[in-house]
Amino acid sequence: MKNWFRTLKALVWKDLLQEWRSKDMLTSMLAFAILSLFIFNYAMELDPRQRAELAAGVIWVVIMFSGTLGLNRSFLAEQEQGSFDALVMAVPDVAVIWLAKQISNYLIMLILIVITLPVYSVLYNQNLFVPQFLIELVLGAWGFSAAGTLISSMTVQTRMRDLLLPVLLFPVLMPVNMAVVKAGQGVLSGAGWETYQVWISILLVYGIIMTTISLLVFDYVIRE
């Protein structure tokens, strides 16, 4: 078990260091997110009440589509270098590869959220730094990265991976999308906890279920 966690730490560090050196994934995600926010800002003239109702949907759409750009590159480095088979043989358990990729994607998603929220707040003159809203975004990002990392491993070796990934991923993410938007609307409109607690619970349960399923089936996915 100690060797398992040591391997996980090494793989996560490798992915983050590689991204820090190239900045390919993070740069494309941030550029897309900020440009999308500017487009939404000029396309919608909303009063304060409408902004509170639409803010959760707008911010999550931007984060979700930006995150999809990053997911496309999750396993691309190993594929281009021809090192994935060697990586599979080197680790004590194949599932550790998925978990390392998932954690790396999740941390990058958190960076995206931290940068996107202040930009949105400035453009729309609306404070999004509400603890409950941040919690549901964090839970939503976990569910997104869990499902996205697994599906990215399925599509990485296909020629149409850039198109196939969102086609397969977005239907799977429907519970997350609904829960994030509904919970966010409740939080930002000042509703009571009882009106959106069920959506927070859905995000938590979805993340646990998708993480468990991915750990169980990842070995089969990559070998098939």
Mean pLDDT across the chain, nearest whole number?
86
Could you tell me which residue, 125 or 50, shows the higher pLDDT? 125
Burial classification of residue 39, based on how many CB atoms lie within 10 Å of its CB (0-12 exposed, 13-18 middle, 19 or more buried): exposed
151-171 pLDDT, tens per residue?
Answer: 988 887 777 777 888 888 999
CB atoms within 10 A of CB 181: 21
**Residue 189: φ, ψ to 5°:** -90, -5
pLDDT in tens, 68-109: 988 877 777 767 666 777 777 877 788 898 999 999 999 999
- pTM here is 0.91
For the segment 27-39, the average pLDDT, to the nearest whole number, is 89
What are the tens digits of pLDDT across the range 162-198? 788 888 899 999 999 999 999 998 888 877 888 889 9
Which spans in 24-160 are helix H? 24-43, 48-71, 76-81, 84-90, 95-124, 131-155
CA-CA distances (angstroms) from residue 170 to 21, 40, 50?
30, 21, 26
Degrees, nearest 5: CA angle 190-194-200: 90
**Domains in the chain: boundaries:** 2-223
Q: What percent of the chain clears pLDDT 70, i.e. is strictly above it?
A: 94
62 burial type by CB count under 10 A (0-12 exposed, 13-18 middle, 19+ buried): buried
**Looking up tokens 């599509």, which residue turns up?**
155
